[in-house]
Amino acid sequence: MVTIKLFLTDVDGVLTDGGMYYTESGDEFKKFNTRDGMAFELLRKAGIKTGIVTSENTKIVARRAVKIKADYLYQGQRDGGKLAAAEEICEKESISLSEVAYIGDDLNCISLLEKVGLAACPADAVDAVKAVPGIVMLYKKGGEGCVREFVDRIVKSQY
């Protein structure tokens, strides 16, 4: 197994259940799992950098990234932008994509999932993601602790 130096995650459908919640006045809500938040602390303690790469662009995700102390946040990454963002982070960290673990759940995650050293998806990911060669299919669904499940596997396998 390759040593993981960077952990990246998608947001909707991974850190959340994929639901979009709106009030009548237009306020948006997302539900995050606290166990997934603890996963970022475990990664920090293991010396693994962290990042969020998402196609959405919201203040909610920016606040969550600050709370979990993510090293990197790339929002609004569409049309191959997730892979480009990961490559940019790798350049900054002087590492290769083979040293990256990434968890994603939908079509816009596939190009990155296919290039990283360790790829995973929540139990409720779309079939095309589940078909990515070598992908780790997790037992938990998006927003239900799948990030923590993946991180526990990474940390246990390396230390």
Residues placed in the known binding site for Mg(2+)? 10, 105
Whether 85 is in a domain gets the answer yes
The CATH number of the domain where 116 resides is what? 3.40.50.1000
Give Cα 138 distance to the centre of its chain: 13
Mean pLDDT of the chain: 95
Is the per-residue pLDDT at 88 higher than 90? yes
Q: Model pTM?
A: 0.95
Q: Phi, psi at residue 66, to the nearest 5°?
A: -65, -45
Residues placed in the known binding site? 10, 12, 105
Whether 121 is in a domain gets the answer yes
Whether 118 is in a domain gets the answer yes
**Distance between CA 100 and CA 117 in Å, rounded?**
5
Domain count, the chain: 1
Sign of CA dihedral 105, 50, 116, 57: positive
pLDDT tens, residue by residue, 2-15: 799 999 999 999 99
The domain in which residue 32 lies consists of: 6-158
Whether 106 is in a domain gets the answer yes
Q: Looking at residue 5, what is its pLDDT? A: 97
Q: What is the mean pLDDT of residues 27-43?
A: 94
Residues placed in the known binding site for substrate? 12
